Every structure is written in structure tokens, then in C-alpha cells.
Amino acid sequence: MQDEATLTTLLTEVKQNQDSSCLELILQKYRPMIITTVKRYHLELHDQDDLLQEASIICYQTACAFDPQNATTTYGSFFKKSLINRYRTLLRKEQALKRRGARAQLSLETFLEENGDVFSDNAKSEGTLIDKLTFINELPLLLSNSEYAVLLAKLECKTVKEIAGKLDLSLSQTYNTLARCREKIGQLAKKLYGI
């Protein structure tokens, strides 16, 4: 009971006065749980020090958010769940980057089979074939998954209504996504060609 009262005092000090020494005491108390949780996640882009730093940030955020009077769980459970959620978010982002990189390694033949000949004489760009290939290879890295899907559907000369139906989007979502694509592609064209 005294340990719980001490923890409540530490949490109050962190929340009201941003007391770093109290935060350090909370981190020491939960260090075994933090280390165990860190060992469960193997992230390529984050080493153990990064994950421990993330734990410090989550500890501070949960200390500020936790209300002992209205809590349905203990602070330790709340902190652990928040920490696991943060590590899962980092893992999802890392895996999304891997998928995006794999998508960018599409061969020209596969791209043409899936999307048709975008290098026809009717193409508006006056750049060379190499410039067009460079531009196309940059697009998957530049656009989000949904933006890329909408762009590919638009390249098939589909109307906004057809794109929305095909990708299960609302018309406004489709218009907004196309606008983001135009903006990002314009920035890329400016970067690559000075247009």
C-alpha cells in the first residue's frame, strides 16, 4: 500500500511539475518490465538505446495521462500496454518501409503489363525514356500506398467515380488523394527537371 502511495506521489510530481528525478524513479521501478518488452521487439531501424529512449517518452506520457482516482487498471499495466503499442507502431512503420521498397523494385515489363504503355507517342512529357523511367521509379517511394493505387487507376483512364468504386473510396477521398498525387508529382518534377 505504501509503495502504491509513493508511486501516486511520483506520478503527481511528474504530471504537475515535470519533475525529471521522479520520472527517473518511475523508470527504475519499471526497468525490468521495460527490458523484457524491449527484448520482444527486433527492429532494424532502432537499436536498444532507441527503444529505451522511446520507453522514457512513453513513461512520461503515461505518467501525465494516468489518473489514479479514476483508473480501472494499475499504472504498471497502463504503462506496459502503451509501451507495447508504441513498439508495435514502430514495427508497422518499419515493415511498411520494407513493403514500399519491394514495390519499387517492380520490373519494367511487369509495370507495363499491369499499367499499359505509358511511353506512347501521346505522352505529354517531352523527356527521354531514361528520364521517364527515373520519374516512374521515384513514384512508389514518393506516394503512399493509397495514393499510388489511385494514381495507377487514373493512369488506366478511369473516371473519378470509377476509381472510387474500384478502390472502395468516397468521391471526396478520391479527389483529395488525386490532389495530393498532383502536388507530390509536381514537386518531384520540379526536383528532377526544374519544371
Judge whether 64 and 16 are in contact, CB under 8 Å: no
Phi, psi of 142, rounded to the nearest 5 degrees: -85, -40
pLDDT tens, 144-192? Answer: 888 888 888 888 867 888 888 888 889 889 889 888 888 888 887 777 6
Check: CB of residue 44 under 8 Å from CB of residue 94.
Answer: yes
Q: Any long-range contacts for 187-190 (C-beta under 8 Å, 24+ apart)?
A: 188/135, 188/138, 188/139, 188/142, 189/135
pLDDT in tens, 89-118: 888 888 777 665 555 555 556 656 666 555
In whole angstroms, what separates CA 8 from the centre of its chain? 34
- Contact (CB, 8 A) for 33 and 21: no
Q: Is the CB of residue 160 less than 8 Å from the CB of residue 174?
A: yes
Burial of 1 (0-12, 13-18, 19+ CB in 10 A): exposed
Tell me which H or E stretch contains 92: helix 75-104
pTM score:
0.49
